[in-house]
């Protein structure tokens, strides 16, 4: 079958002929209709681990059921979150890492859900109750940012989103953000909670905007720059400020139930994946370049024939 | 009266003749018998703010009661925590920032209590329940460290203390630390809680020893080096690790009740100030040099004639 594999020349991907996956007993075989590209995958492609193939977010058709009897039947459409190798004609997926799709949810929209949606859902769980609380969300124009804005606003938060420019923040107001600003310096604190994904110099700036005993959930480092924290400088900031490192993989349970929640919310019209780039998978290398160049708002989705 | 003031020549102190303080309506005048030196004061002495005089921890005799009728009477002995200017023959102190001393608590011991003791008491409050929990305490050989070790052990914690060498950790085992090690690298995690006061490269090392969803309370930067945190490196560490910046000044209430608690615990034999250096106040400059050189275990206390 055809699959996208790391292209050493330019740090993107190229087509290769690879063996069809052989599903384990608790895995279904999915004919992939669409997949999405995540920032973490673009990082990994710069220095790909040996044998690794990208692809954590897919949607498609079950063409072989799991041998152990778990999961969906042949012919059902699913969204799935395999550990990798999903940018291919076929992917094997554990039945506890997928959700069945209702008819009205198309494959490109569904493919935009897993990693970004799981991250947003679990970040809000880590945030605790947000109704009536003031939230600051940095790096808000990506896939996670759009989901977070919509879910947090629906839960009653008053959310300030930070995006690089007005165009990248357009949809966030529609999804429920109370305001969109274009730098942390332009945000008016204090905030009860900061959701931070840029690292570098922006994180300390955002930290300084916390209310006393406020918390910053740190879920990414899009700037690629580590963070420098000075104890003495923080003494002039909010008292008892907390930085909590967040990984979307911090869950005690499999992904299935959370994927089903994301599917349900989308089907009910409560969650609106923002497909900022939708293209044919032959153009995946170009999509990766656009994502790296911060030219994509929301999710980057590629479709197969 | 005589007072110690910043000495620009060597960043320590020198004697000067200054006016006696004029107490405000809610202040008593204290004839100072002993005071202690805190690390933060040694930092400030390197670049003293204009008009500032050191001295936050004193013990002595009330020689003038407060005009508003609050606080102790003339002739009572007190420990107090003024914002500064305590290294002098007399100090004015607000009546909500002192505690009356019982007969059996001498002035040098009492003078070791305020800043270090308040920090330890409030750190443990911020820590929450510690019974049966594994704690790592870095920079443990100072005044705060000794108080923390004794209070945490009494509250049921299993505490690992980190000190530069065996001599500096001697008393910590006696006070209740389960073990004393001489580098963070020698500590065996995971720990439910880390109490960190060195900053620099030690904080990230200690952070890596946390249990999942563990918390690091950051209460100092004795190394003088800021901390560098890399989001991606942390992904290989404990999930959802939290760094909480702590300032002992983060309280909604005045210092009086907490000072009374420290006095009571000491009088009951539950808290044992470790007077690593006890000298005449004529030798304060030398005491500061010893503290800077990390040659003092526990507290540094100076006495007046």
pLDDT digits (tens, 9 = 90+) for B54-83: 999 999 999 999 999 999 999 999 999 999
pLDDT of B253 reads 85
With a cut of 90, say whether residue B231 has pLDDT above it. yes
Q: Give me the residue from A212, A226, A247 closest to B239, CB to CB.
A: A247
The answer to whether B242 contacts A242, with C-beta atoms less than 8 Å apart, is: yes
pLDDT of A171 reads 95
* Cβ-based contacts of A232 with chain B (< 8 Å): 221
Q: Which of B220, B231, B253 to mutate to test the interface with A (most CBs of A within 10 A)?
A: B231
Question: Does residue A240 belong to the interface with chain B, where contact is any CB pair within 8 Å?
Answer: yes
pLDDT of A278 reads 98
Q: Give me the residue from A213, A228, A245 closest to B234, CB to CB.
A: A245
The answer to whether A244 contacts B242, with C-beta atoms less than 8 Å apart, is: yes
- Search chain B and give the residue with CA nearest A44: B232
Q: Specify whether the CB–CB gap between A220 and B231 falls below 8 A.
A: yes
With a cut of 90, say whether residue A303 has pLDDT above it. yes
Residue A250 banded pLDDT, cuts 50, 70, 90: confident
With a cut of 90, say whether residue B8 has pLDDT above it. no
The answer to whether B231 contacts A126, with C-beta atoms less than 8 Å apart, is: no
pLDDT of B252 reads 81
Question: Does residue A232 belong to the interface with chain B, where contact is any CB pair within 8 Å?
Answer: yes
Q: Can you tell me the ipTM of this complex?
A: 0.90
Taking the C-alpha atoms of residue A231 and residue B200, their distance in angstroms, rounded to an integer, is 10
The DSSP bridge pattern shows strands A12-17 and A2-7 to be antiparallel
Question: Does residue A127 belong to the interface with chain B, where contact is any CB pair within 8 Å?
Answer: no
CB neighbours of A53 closer than 8 A, spacing ≥ 6? A3, A4, A5, A6, A18, A84, A85, A87, A88
How much is the average pLDDT of A59-80? 98
With a cut of 90, say whether residue B125 has pLDDT above it. yes
Question: Does residue B69 belong to the interface with chain A, where contact is any CB pair within 8 Å?
Answer: no
Cβ-Cβ contacts under 8 Å between A and B: the total is: 80
* Cβ-based contacts of A126 with chain B (< 8 Å): 240
Calculate the average pLDDT of chain A.
96
* Cβ-based contacts of B231 with chain A (< 8 Å): 199, 218, 220-221, 226-227, 245
pLDDT of A165 reads 92
Residue B262 banded pLDDT, cuts 50, 70, 90: very high
* Cβ-based contacts of B249 with chain A (< 8 Å): 239
Q: Which of B122, B245, B251 to mutate to test the interface with A (most CBs of A within 10 A)?
A: B245
Q: Which residues of A226-255 are buried (b: 16+ CB within 10 A; e: fewer)?
A: bbebebeebeebbbbbbbbbbbbeeeeeeb
Question: Does residue A218 belong to the interface with chain B, where contact is any CB pair within 8 Å?
Answer: yes
pLDDT of A132 reads 96
- H or E stretch at B42: helix B39-46
% pLDDT > 70, chain B = 100
* Cβ-based contacts of A247 with chain B (< 8 Å): 235, 239-240
Pairwise pLDDT comparison (B8 vs A181), residue with the higher score: A181
Shortest CA gap A286–chain B (Å)? 26
Min mean pLDDT across A53-62, A213-222, B249-258 is at: B249-258
Q: Give me the residue from B221, B233, B250 closest to A232, CB to CB.
A: B221
The answer to whether B240 contacts A228, with C-beta atoms less than 8 Å apart, is: no
With a cut of 90, say whether residue B228 has pLDDT above it. yes
Question: Does residue B231 belong to the interface with chain A, where contact is any CB pair within 8 Å?
Answer: yes
pLDDT of A91 reads 98
Q: Give me the residue from B232, B233, B244 closest to A242, CB to CB.
A: B244
Taking the C-alpha atoms of residue A102 and residue A71, their distance in angstroms, rounded to an integer, is 15
The answer to whether A245 contacts B247, with C-beta atoms less than 8 Å apart, is: no
How much is the average pLDDT of B203-224? 96
* Cβ-based contacts of B204 with chain A (< 8 Å): none
Question: Does residue B283 belong to the interface with chain A, where contact is any CB pair within 8 Å?
Answer: no
pLDDT of B244 reads 97
> How does pLDDT run across B142-181, given as a tens digit for each residue?
999 999 999 999 999 999 999 999 999 999 999 999 999 9
> How does pLDDT run across A139-167, given as a tens digit for each residue?
999 999 999 999 999 999 999 999 999 99
How much is the average pLDDT of A221-229? 96
Q: Which of A245, A247, A252 to mutate to test the interface with B (most CBs of B within 10 A)?
A: A245
The DSSP bridge pattern shows strands A299-303 and A27-37 to be antiparallel
* Cβ-based contacts of B126 with chain A (< 8 Å): 240
Taking the C-alpha atoms of residue A227 and residue A243, their distance in angstroms, rounded to an integer, is 11
The DSSP bridge pattern shows strands A191-196 and A158-162 to be unpaired
pLDDT of B67 reads 98
Q: Which is nearest to A161 in space by CA: A179, A147, A185?
A: A179
* Cβ-based contacts of B221 with chain A (< 8 Å): 230-232
Calculate the average pLDDT of chain B.
96
> How does pLDDT run across A201-218, given as a tens digit for each residue?
999 999 999 999 999 999
pLDDT of B251 reads 83
With a cut of 90, say whether residue B250 has pLDDT above it. no
With a cut of 90, say whether residue A53 has pLDDT above it. yes
Question: Does residue A131 belong to the interface with chain B, where contact is any CB pair within 8 Å?
Answer: no
Cα–Cα separations (whole angstroms), residue A99 to A60, A121, B169: 11, 15, 56
pLDDT of B121 reads 97
Query: Hey, what domains does chain B have and what are their CATH numbers?
Result: 2-113+274-303 (3.90.180.10), 116-245 (3.90.180.10)
> How does pLDDT run across B33-43, given as a tens digit for each residue?
999 999 999 99
Taking the C-alpha atoms of residue A220 and residue B229, their distance in angstroms, rounded to an integer, is 12
% pLDDT > 90, chain A = 97
* Cβ-based contacts of A234 with chain B (< 8 Å): 245
CB neighbours of A6 closer than 8 A, spacing ≥ 6? A13, A45, A48, A52, A53, A54
* Cβ-based contacts of B234 with chain A (< 8 Å): 245
């Amino acid at each position: 079958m055809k699959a996208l594999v790391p292209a050493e020349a330019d740090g993107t991907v190229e087509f290769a002929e690879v063996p069809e996956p052989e599903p384990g007993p608790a895995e279904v075989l999915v004919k992939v209709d669409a997949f999405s590209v995540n920032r973490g995958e673009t990082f990994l492609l710069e220095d790909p681990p040996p044998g690794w193939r990208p692809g954590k977010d897919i949607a498609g058709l079950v063409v072989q059921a799991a041998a152990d009897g778990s999961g969906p039947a042949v012919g059902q459409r699913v969204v799935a979150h395999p550990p990798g190798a999903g940018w291919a004609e076929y992917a094997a997926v554990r039945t506890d890492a997928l959700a069945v799709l209702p008819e009205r949810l198309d494959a490109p929209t569904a493919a935009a859900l897993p990693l970004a949606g799981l991250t947003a859902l679990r970040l809000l769980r880590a945030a605790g109750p947000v109704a009536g609380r003031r939230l600051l969300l940095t790096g808000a124009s990506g896939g996670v940012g759009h989901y977070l804005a919509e879910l947090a606003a629906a839960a009653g938060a008053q959310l300030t989103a930070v995006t690089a420019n007005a165009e990248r923040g357009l949809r966030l107001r529609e999804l429920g953000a109370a305001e969109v600003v274009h730098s942390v310096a332009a945000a008016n604190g204090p905030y009860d909670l900061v959701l931070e994904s840029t690292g570098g110099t922006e994180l300390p700036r955002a930290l300084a905007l916390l209310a006393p005993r406020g918390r910053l959930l740190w879920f990414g480092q899009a700037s690629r720059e580590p963070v420098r924290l000075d104890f003495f400088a923080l003494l002039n900031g909010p008292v008892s400020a907390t930085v909590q490192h967040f990984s979307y993989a911090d869950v005690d349970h499999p992904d299935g139930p959370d994927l089903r929640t994301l599917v349900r919310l989308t089907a009910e019209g409560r969650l609106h994946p923002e497909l900022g780039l939708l293209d044919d998978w032959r153009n995946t290398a170009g999509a990766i370049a656009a994502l790296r160049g911060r030219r994509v708002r929301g999710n980057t989705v590629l479709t197969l024939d």
